[in-house]
Amino acid sequence: MAAKVKLENEAAQSTNALGPLIGVAREDFVSAVALLLRETASDPARLVRHSTAIAQDMVKIMTGKSDLAPDPKDKRFMDPAWAYNPFFRAGAQYYLAVQKGMKNWLEELELDELERNRANFIANIILDGLAPTNSLVGNPTAQKQIINSGGLSLIKGLQNAYNDMVHNKGMVSQVDKRPFTVGKNVACSKGNVIYRDEIMELVQYAPATDTVYAVPQLTIPPQINKMYINDLSPDKSVIKWQVENGIQSFVISWRNPTKEMGHWGMDDYIAACEKALAVVADITGSKKVNVSAGCSGGQTAAVLASKLAATNNPILGALTLMVCVLHPKPTDIEAGSLVSENGMQLARQRAMKAGVIKADDLARGFAWLRPNDLIWNYVINNYLLGQDPPAFDVLFWNADATNLSSSLMGDFLTLFETLAFTKQGEVEMAGHKIDLSKVTADLFILGGVTDHITPWKATYRSTQLFGSKDVTYVLSQSGHMQAILNPPGNPKAKYFVQSKKGKLPATADDWLAGVEEVKGSWWPLWTEWLQKRSGEKTAAPASLGSAAYPAMEAAPGLYVVEEV
Find the length of the chain: 564
What phi and psi, each to the nearest 5 degrees, are found at residue 69? -145, 145
Q: Give the pairing type, strands 217-220 and 211-213.
A: unpaired
Cβ proximity of 560 and 254 under 8 Å: no
d(CA 244, CA 287): 23
DSSP structure string for 125-183 = HHHHHH-GGGSSTT-HHHHHHHHHTTTHHHHHHHHHHHHHHHHSTTPPP-S--TT--BT
- β-strand partners of 435: 424
d(CA 433, CA 427): 5
The verdict on whether omega for the bond into residue 556 sits within 30 degrees of 0, i.e. cis, is yes
Q: Compute CA 261 distance to the chain's CA centroid, rounded to the nearest angstrom.
A: 24
Cβ proximity of 31 and 308 under 8 Å: no
Cβ proximity of 187 and 556 under 8 Å: yes
Query: Is 295 in the active site?
Result: yes
Instruction: From the candidates 188, 273, 295, 324, give the one annotated as an active-site residue.
Output: 295
Q: Compute CA 531 distance to the chain's CA centroid, rounded to the nearest angstrom.
A: 28
d(CA 257, CA 397): 18
Q: Compute CA 433 distance to the chain's CA centroid, rounded to the nearest angstrom.
A: 28
Strands in 304-346 per DSSP E: 316-322
Instruction: Write out the catalytic residue numbers.
Output: 295
